[in-house]
Amino acid sequence: MKKFIIKGPNKAVKGEVDISGAKNSCLPLMAASILFKNKVTLTNVPFVKDVYSMMNLLISLGSKVDFSEAKKKMTITNKKNHKLVVPYNLVSTMRAGVLTMGPLLSRYQLKNIQVSLGGGCLIGQRLQNHHLAGFKSLGALNYLEKGYINISSKKGLTGSKYKFPKVTVTGSSNVIMASIFAKGIHYIKNISIEPEVIDLINFLNNSGADIKFIGRRSIVIKGVKELIDGEHTIIGDRIEAFSYLCVGAITNRKIRVKNINPYYLKTEINILRKIGYKISINESSITLFSRKKLKPIKIKTGPWPSFATDNMPSLLAVLTKVVGKSQIEETIFSNRFMAAPELNRMGAKISIKKNKAIIIGQKKLISADCISSDLRTTFSIILGAITAEGSSTISRIYHGLRGYYNLELKLRKLGIKIISKN
């Protein structure tokens, strides 16, 4: 099993990082290809593990997938009907498999669709109840049997009204895709407005869908009969961008991230500035500069435009080096602080009280052997190891490879002393 060995402290960190396409945008866009009777072309594709898993899932359903990693390009072609069973072995390591429910239901309304309950990171409950309730509002019935969600609509889907009880990213994407071919008009309230959801909406509209905002978190979808061939360039990955900005923050060195819209990280940029870092932005890049005076902070996560829960573990690591008492309140996932015990092994002082992390920042961390448990925890531990004195070994690094493209190479280009070992 692959491990990273990082020798710290890395005092020569500097440079710039080309940010890849957003994994969290790419996966729903790939799922949306099911809606098309012919071809979808995606560019700026991040060929991470989760993307390959989704490719295999689509192929198993009957889609043809051609790709060029060098060109960051993927073409998905549907010439025949899809299979309507998404098996467990294809979703066991990737929760995004549930995103196939909406497009399969929309395109094959009168047939029974079976989607296995998925896997992914163990960061808290990710129930599909809100997805299913959204499908029910369109006239679809569902039941759970032997680990599979069965969904169908005997009379076809018809628009009505639905309000999400809480903001959900995958739920919003799923119900939006399910509504594309429904009869009439469907109103959806309290949707996610994360940049990745907006990216999906833009793609669908450019392909012939009719989705309009009628409020900040309210949309109306007018059903259409078909979509035209889709072409789309995936937005830059705001989570990856912030992660690498945190490399600069925790080492207090200048780092520039490119190919990212700073608007997607407006809250994160403000937080870094409140801590004391100088931040410079332009249309497609963000630069963090070193600063002598840093101060602790009190923040909480939330749906966009609030501070992203996916960015929280990286900031958690940064705050271990900001002298003073900081606090992070997690409002999205119940088990998001799994990086804390590993950082504490390096000498950090983090205590967890319910959904809050109290961080007593200090100047020094020491090396340790650590185990990664999920995607974002991986990068948090890496950040700690970068500044810790001595060599740290990080096991189960495959979690990080699910979402960070060319992780080792990008870190090495910044001056990080890192090697991989099986």
User: Which residue has tokens 């990171």?
Assistant: 121
CB 335 within 8 A of CB 372: no
For 241, the enclosing helix (H) or strand (E) is helix 238-251
> CA 160, CA 214: separation in Å to the nearest integer?
15
Amino acid identity, position 371: I
DSSP single-letter state for residue 127: -
Distances (CA, A) of 15 to 48, 69, 400, 409, 410: 23, 24, 22, 13, 10
Residues belonging to the active site: 121
The rounded distance, in Å, linking the Cα atoms of 365 and 377 is 17
| Complete edge-to-edge strand list for the sheet that includes strand 148-152 | 85-86, 113-116, 148-152, 141-145
Any residues with CB less than 8 A from the CB of 316 and at least 6 apart, and which?
A: 328, 337, 339, 340, 343, 350, 357, 359, 380
**Burial class of residue 388 in the structure, from the number of CB atoms within 10 Å of its CB (0-12 exposed, 13-18 middle, 19+ buried):** buried
Taken in order 398, 399, 403, 409, the sign of the CA dihedral is negative
Contacts of 139 (CB under 8 A, 6+ apart): 153, 155, 156, 157, 158, 160, 182
Question: Which pair of structure tokens corresponds to residue 152?
Answer: 């169908």
Q: Taking the mean position of all CA atoms in its chain, how far away is CA 231? A: 21
- For residue 169, give both structure tokens: 């990213």
